[in-house]
Structure 1
């Protein structure tokens, strides 16, 4: 395993591109590996849980992204994932960990509840990302009105990553649940979170009222 680990780390070092690092660092990600090339490496390595765990322990961002791609999501225990999400400070690592690993793990709901109320805003943002997933796919048992209450009270002054996750949840409530749509749009309009977010041509603004309206229009047109 040590030999395999050394070979993978050497390959990651060879993939380092200063221009890619410059672009990634603008988004808070401290690595210079093209993600397409990283995925190609992961495809070649296939699933290797032990190697994934060793790569994670390096605290290297590119190595952790690769670890996420080659791990077995269901193999992690609840406490392991809790530790990992607290260690995942780079935005891309945090995002991939939640979406590619935690969402496929049997402890997802326990972690969602624990993280949503965590005092660390980065950890809390993971909880809200999992809540958005439930709003969209498994809303039974969720108190959607209470979620909108919390978003209305806390989103405006939340740190960036937590604010983004709460805004996503607000938009998903408005998109997926017609009975809460008017209120979700109203809350978004009053708070004005991400109203001026720069959006490329052809893309949908993350400003909740615009996002909700556009996605509902698309649903009606299909």
Structure 2
């Protein structure tokens, strides 16, 4: 579907609008009613189109931006472009996909991680913590894990929701992946009690770090 115009795509995005899906999404801060399965099917048909992706992003429409993140070339964005995009991505789903589908694949990821983690905007900072969690799991060499735990211990309890969630994920990942820091990670989680009472569906693991860590370690055979 090379050569598809923005207007054509926007018309197709509007067609499957589901009021019930919009109601559910809006409860989570996402202002769209597009079924994500249909969105992914559309992206598969469009294939990679960087110019179209940029145009879709520039519409500011949440569904269009989600589609843009599926059809873009992550390595085509410059550092300044990604920084501007993350600051403009206020929808939780757009923010999540931008970090996970695009920034993590960018050659600028580490530079942005360092800049964003210390950013005064908690949403931007949460992106930095998400990138840090990725490194904790996959490329921990060079990270000061004890220092990260210090920062989490002093800052997570009173952090805004999205930043708190990202810091908590990092805390759990440190405990899961690094046995030498596990006891302290669990102790921090138990003392701060962040997400301790978070409603968890049957069959799902609680995001409360001590429970999360214990369950993942158990699944790995109690390493």
Scaled to the shorter chain, the TM-score interval is over 0.9
Can you give the 5+ residue segments of structure 1 that lack an aligned partner in the other structure? Answer: none
Query: Are positions 1:123 and 2:119 aligned together?
Result: no
Aligned twin of 2:142: 141
Report which of the two has the higher share of helix: 1
> Quick one: distance in 2 between partners of 1:42 and 1:114?
31
The CA RMSD measured in Å over matched residues stands at 1.2
Deviation per CA, 1:161-216: give whole Å up to 9, x if none.
00000000000000000000000000000000000000001110000000000000
Aligned twin of 1:12: 13
Aligned twin of 1:97: 98
Normalising by structure 2, report the TM-score: 0.98
Deviation per CA, 1:67-100: give whole Å up to 9, x if none.
0000000000000000000000000000000000
> Quick one: distance in 1 between partners of 2:3 and 2:36?
24
> Quick one: distance in 1 between partners of 2:222 and 2:178?
17
> Quick one: distance in 1 between partners of 2:4 and 2:64?
15
> Quick one: distance in 1 between partners of 2:4 and 2:70?
20
> Quick one: distance in 1 between partners of 2:4 and 2:197?
50
Aligned twin of 2:181: 180
Can you give the 5+ residue segments of structure 2 that lack an aligned partner in the other structure? Answer: none
Q: How many residues are paired up?
A: 222
Report SS of the residue matched to 1:15. Answer: coil
Normalising by structure 1, report the TM-score: 0.98
- Residues 66-215 of structure 1 mapped to structure 2, 5 A cutoff: 66-215=67-216
Shift of residue 154, structure 1, vs aligned partner: 0.2
> Quick one: distance in 1 between partners of 2:156 and 2:68?
32
Aligned twin of 1:62: 63
Shift of residue 4, structure 1, vs aligned partner: 1.3
